[in-house]
Structure 1
Amino acid sequence: MAGEVESSKALSGLLNGLAQNAFHGHSGITEELLRSQLYPEVPAEEFRPFLAKMRGILKSVASADMDFNQLEAFLTAQTKKQGGITGEQAAVISKFWKSHKIKIRESLVSQSRWDNGFRGLSWRVDAKSQSRHSAQIHTPVAIIELEFGKSGQESEFLCLEFDEVKVNQILKKLSEVEDSISTLMQAA
């Protein structure tokens, strides 16, 4: 078992499989599949505790969204505790986390959202081409398009049109907010 578990390539594959299952929703990656593909010589009763240990470490690292200093401290502690991991395993876990941290974090954030999220904003200044009153034709307007949606679904768009008066009102409100924030920051 020790020689098989020490294999960096197999451990990297195991971490990938665990991440696919736990964070990316690939339920077809089972314990038996991982064992048969990566550790075929290891009996199931020996593989199961090793798998549980690696799953626990990966979940701890991901749930804390560890930066690289925290990761190194955590892995060092894991190598020093009885029944922990080896230095080679710690190096493989560290390398894995460095290359997969962003994707795992994005997946966890996406899974934790119940409602639509803000995806983007575009804006432009245009001239009004139609109006009930001829005096308003060719006046400048700000057109703002907001994009909302859930991961894996089509976006919904909200289009807003502001004339010069509304734009000035918004700018005034934003200025008031900025002044309030500055006042609060100076008081702190």
Structure 2
Amino acid sequence: MLIESWHDGAVTRAQDNAGGDRDGAGLPRVPSIPLSDEKTVAAAEAADASIGSLVKEATTHLSTLVRAEVELARTEMAKEVKKGLTGGLFFMIALVVILYSSFFFFFFLGELLSNWLPRWAAFGIVFLLMLLFAAFCGFLGYRKVKKIQAPERTISSMKDTAAALRHPGAEHDAPVAP
């Protein structure tokens, strides 16, 4: 990897100067994940590496690569989750503002109806409409909650795993004696 920088009119390369410019300032050290120890690589080349040592080295490289990819995915997901939480917070704030402002809408509706009805009857009608709407929403919520089911596959899998751990040689379908 070549990193070049202009400093005092001269081009410096990161490979030539790992600590920065000639005076120690400038380019920072480039972070990297070492795939293997330099001594191990030199020893393997010197000893004309066997298949076993090559497989071991390849496994080490693959393991390091997988760990780096998992860390990258975790970092990216953390950023996206933060964005999602921030967006959800703004939606919650908007919902609270809408709920508080609905009071003024219902007050307006009551005043509008009071043009044709006595004031107490207009506000009574608005109150009954609000109660009916709340009852309707409560009914819809009740129906949704009533449809919630237990995670049967997970429960079954956990029971099977527990049975297998209690009796390691037993057949899966065989009855378990207490």
Structure 1 length normalisation: TM-score? 0.28
Rg: which structure is higher? 2
RCO higher in structure (CA 8 A, sep ≥6): 1
Structure 2 length normalisation: TM-score? 0.29
